[in-house]
Each structure stands twice: as structure tokens, then as C-alpha cells.
């Protein structure tokens, strides 16, 4: 029996999933990654962990991560980012500019795509780089 990383694989190939579906999953994957990172640090006060994690997973934080990663992305990954950026969600959070929100969605879409494509090494490489962007800012 083949073991999969997924309890419930997507109903379609990742290439055929709507960008907002990929972003929905990508948001959860990135949040889990960031929480693991925050717990790996020395300070485990809940308020501190929450504030730090919020820097990473906010729309602004995700847009900043995407910007830092753009020159590392393959053409295929850039195409997925563009699909995510151009997806119309119908609403924008109160605390985010429309352009920032679209770039955040593009980042989440890329994460979701890599996750569902089972490209875990590449996903880990990019998420580690994204976390590094914020960790370097926190150290300043």
C-alpha cells in the first residue's frame, strides 16, 4: 500500500484547481510552517509567539515574502503566482491594501500548489527563505 502525505488528495490535479482553492490550502500550510518556526525559538510566551507569527502570516508579511522570492522562482512557479495574483476573491480585508492582498493571495497560491504537487523539498526551500526574510528583520 502506498502511503501519501495527504489524508484527502485534491479532487483535481493541482494545475486544474482554482487559484483561490490553492491559496486556501497554502495559507494553512504556511501558518503551520511559521508556527513550527516560532516554537523552535527560545521565547515561548504565548503573546510573543502570536505577535511574531502575525508578522509572517499577515497579508503584508506574505506579500513581502513573495517579493523576496520572485527572483528564485521558476517560470512554472511564476505562472502560478500570476494566477493567484489575478484571482478575484470578491472581498479585501479591512487592514490590507488591495495590491498587498493580491500579492499575499499569490504567495498562498504558490504554497498550495507546491504542497498539492508534492514538491516538498522545493516548498521547504521557499518557505525557509520566506521565514528568513522576516527573521532577519526581527533581528535588526
Q: Domain holding 50: CATH number?
A: 1.10.1520.10
Q: What is the pTM of this model?
A: 0.90
Asked whether 31 and 61 are in contact (CB, 8 A), the reply is no
Lowest mean pLDDT among 7-16, 23-32, 57-66, 107-116: 7-16
Catalytically active residues, by annotation:
27
Q: Residue 6 has what pLDDT?
A: 64
**HSE value, Cβ hemisphere, 13 Å, CA-based, for 62:** 31
Residue 133's pLDDT is 84
Q: Indicate the average pLDDT of the chain.
A: 90
Q: Is residue 10 part of a domain?
A: no
User: What is the number of domains present in the chain?
Assistant: 1
Give the alpha-carbon dihedral of 121, 125, 127, 133, to 10 degrees.
Answer: 170
Residue 2: inside a domain: no
Domain presence at residue 74? yes
Average pLDDT over residues 4-22: 87
Q: What is the sign of the dihedral through the CA atoms of 42, 44, 45 and 50?
A: positive
Report if residue 89 sits inside a domain: yes
Residue 65 lies in a domain: yes
Question: 114: domain range?
Answer: 17-139
Phi-psi region of 118 (alpha: psi -120 to 50; beta: other; left: phi over 0): left
Provide the pLDDT confidence category of residue 1 given band limits of 50, 70 and 90: very low
Amino acid at each position: 500500500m502506498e502511503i501519501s502525505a495527504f489524508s484527502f488528495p485534491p479532487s483535481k490535479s493541482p494545475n486544474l484547481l482554482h487559484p483561490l482553492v490553492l491559496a486556501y490550502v497554502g495559507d494553512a500550510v504556511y501558518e503551520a510552517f511559521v508556527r513550527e518556526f516560532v516554537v523552535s525559538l527560545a521565547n515561548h510566551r504565548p503573546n510573543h509567539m502570536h505577535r511574531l507569527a502575525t508578522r509572517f502570516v499577515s497579508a503584508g508579511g506574505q506579500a513581502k515574502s513573495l517579493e523576496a522570492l520572485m527572483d528564485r522562482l521558476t517560470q512554472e512557479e511564476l505562472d502560478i503566482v500570476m494566477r493567484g495574483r489575478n484571482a478575484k476573491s470578491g472581498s479585501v480585508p479591512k487592514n490590507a491594501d488591495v495590491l498587498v492582498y493580491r500579492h499575499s493571495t499569490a504567495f498562498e497560491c504558490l504554497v498550495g500548489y507546491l504542497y498539492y504537487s508534492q514538491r516538498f523539498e522545493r516548498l521547504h526551500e521557499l518557505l525557509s527563505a520566506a521565514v528568513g526574510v522576516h527573521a532577519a528583520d526581527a533581528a535588526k
